[in-house]
Amino acid sequence: MKNIKVLGPGCAKCKTTYNNVIEALKQTGIEAEVIKIEDIEEMMKYNILTTPVLIIDGEIKVKGRVADVNEIKLLLT
């Protein structure tokens, strides 16, 4: 099972990224644990400056922009 984290303070872009992850998982049937991290101190541990950030299995895949559903599906495979 994949581990996915969406980092962001709760802005519209961060929520859109989270929703796109959920939709991509639905469309692919891939099982994953999805964690939304909104705590600034927790986000600082990842040494990132721009949000939203999409992390899949411990690897930063997208940062500073919204990944669309199709892009996320490609990153999951």
Within 10 A of 54 (CB to CB), how many other CB atoms are there? 25
Torsion angle (degrees, nearest 10) of CA 52, 54, 55, 56: 170
pLDDT tens profile 34-71 = 999 999 999 999 998 899 999 999 999 999 999 999 99
Q: Which residues are catalytic?
A: 11, 14
Mean pLDDT over each residue of the chain, to the nearest integer: 95
Amino acid residing at 59: E
CB 60 within 8 A of CB 7: no
* pTM more than 0.85: yes
- Alpha-carbon distances of 65 from 13, 31, 48, rounded to whole Å: 7, 24, 13
Domain range 2-76, CATH architecture: 3-Layer(aba) Sandwich (3.40)
